[in-house]
Structure 1
């Protein structure tokens, strides 16, 4: 009887730990957050290393996520849809850059706010964009001595 009670107690602890881990992962990824936001779009020449769910950061702080990526068949550019927290009001001359977390790190979308007194509204497009820089192409240019 004591062994059966011990098994039930251990099973309860394991179940509670699994539930706690699930809640933590939901909060860490922003999946469970009820925070609302507004959508913006941006068009990039290259969006290499960015996927749906990639962080959108301002001054190193996550303020949103990439919600959709599609290829524009008319311009042959990658159109990204971003969701930004409602409490962050970005000037309409804001720039968006694909940045790297380091030499071996992944990419993220970095917001560089401008100085305009007018703010972006939901559904607006950010015009000033800079796509991902390929580290391999930079190394090849360096090794080959190409000045371009």
Structure 2
């Protein structure tokens, strides 16, 4: 009887620690939604970008990706994002899909421009750069190094 009580208490302690760890991880992960205004941007590629990814300026999170869709006329990926209401972006700002290191996740990096007029809520960022496909780059490096070694022989 006392063995079952000890096992039950040990199990309850393990569950309590797991719940505490999950709550701590969630609070530190920065998964909370960002209140602000919506912007959109069209990209030729958004490989690896998903709803919920960060929107950053100078590495600081200022928003989140809220939706992705395909424009049927231009075949461009349209990314909708929210940006904090205290962050105003000039009209000539740019957006690019960047990566958190070699194996890290993707995020939208905003580069503020110098225009005196600001993008209105619901507006679109005109200047964009899509994500870089790492597999294609590696394939190009392998192909180019293979063909140059064949020429030297």
Q: Same fold (TM over 0.5)?
A: yes
SS at match of 1:119: coil
* Deviation (angstroms), 1:18: 6.5
Match of 1:106 in 2: 105
* Deviation (angstroms), 1:138: 1.1
Q: How many residues align?
A: 145
Match of 2:49 in 1: 50
Match of 2:62 in 1: 63
CA distance in 1, matches of 2:54, 2:33: 17
TM-score normalised by structure 1 residue count: 0.79
Pair 1:86–1:23, CA change in 2 (3 A):
farther
* Deviation (angstroms), 1:13: 7.3
CA distance in 1, matches of 2:37, 2:110: 15
SS at match of 2:89: coil
Match of 1:40 in 2: 39
Pair 1:47–1:14, CA change in 2 (3 A):
same
Pair 1:10–1:35, CA change in 2 (3 A):
farther
* Deviation (angstroms), 1:27: 4.0
Aligned Cα RMSD in Å? 2.7
CA distance in 1, matches of 2:83, 2:27: 17
On the 8 A contact 2:34/2:64 being kept in 1, the answer is no
Match of 1:126 in 2: 125
* Deviation (angstroms), 1:144: 3.0
* Structure having the larger proportion of residues in helix: 2
Structure 1: gaps spanning 5 or more residues: 1-5
Pair 1:71–1:57, CA change in 2 (3 A):
same
Structure 2: gaps spanning 5 or more residues: 1-5, 148-153
CA distance in 2, matches of 1:107, 1:72: 21
